[in-house]
Amino acid sequence: MPGPRQRQQKPTPPKEKRPATPTFLLELPLVVNPEQATRLRAHLEAARRLYNTILSQGQKCLRRMRTDAAWQATRDLPHTQKAQQAAGFRALYTQYGFTEVVLHQAVKGLRLGWIAEHIDTVLAQTLANRCVALAAGVERTKWCWN
């Protein structure tokens, strides 16, 4: 019997799945003059190049990490030892520079010259966040980015 300060918890009923609602997309044509079109193309090209560069750096880190024997040893740990496995992966991510902080620092170094004229800091960091999530792929779990 619960004490005066304890409450009995009622079992929570399973949540019902929400019905899918239709999604409507509206595409509006962008009407620009030739000057604006040139500027837009330059912005998009700068973003594409920065994104691909960050993504390739993340993939290189992942490839180097996966060739390490410690990676395989950590992967082979039983799933019952989640804390040890998480600590092992976290150490490998730090050792090989595959952390969000390191990739954000790389973006600062890459945003130079003509790219800096087209991509502001906020957009560059947003691109880095997307690259980190994509490069991590399967490896990105709740403990990767502590």
pLDDT single digits (tens) 65-94: 889 999 989 988 888 888 898 899 889 888
- Please count the structural domains in the chain: 1
Distance CA 19, CA 4 (A): 42
In a domain, 86, yes or no: yes
Q: ∠ at Cα 99 (93, 105), nearest 5°?
A: 140
In a domain, 26, yes or no: no
In a domain, 87, yes or no: yes
Residue appearing with tokens 């799945």 = 17
C-beta of residue 30 within 8 angstroms of C-beta of residue 110? no
Q: What is the pLDDT of residues 93-106, one digit of tens each?
A: 889 888 888 888 88
Judge residue 111's burial from the number of C-beta atoms within 10 Å of its C-beta, 0-12 exposed, 13-18 middle, 19 or more buried: buried
> What is the pTM assigned to this prediction?
0.67
Domain of residue 126: give its range: 40-139
Q: Where does residue 77 fall: left (phi above 0), alpha (psi -120 to 50 degrees), or beta otherwise?
A: beta
In a domain, 35, yes or no: no
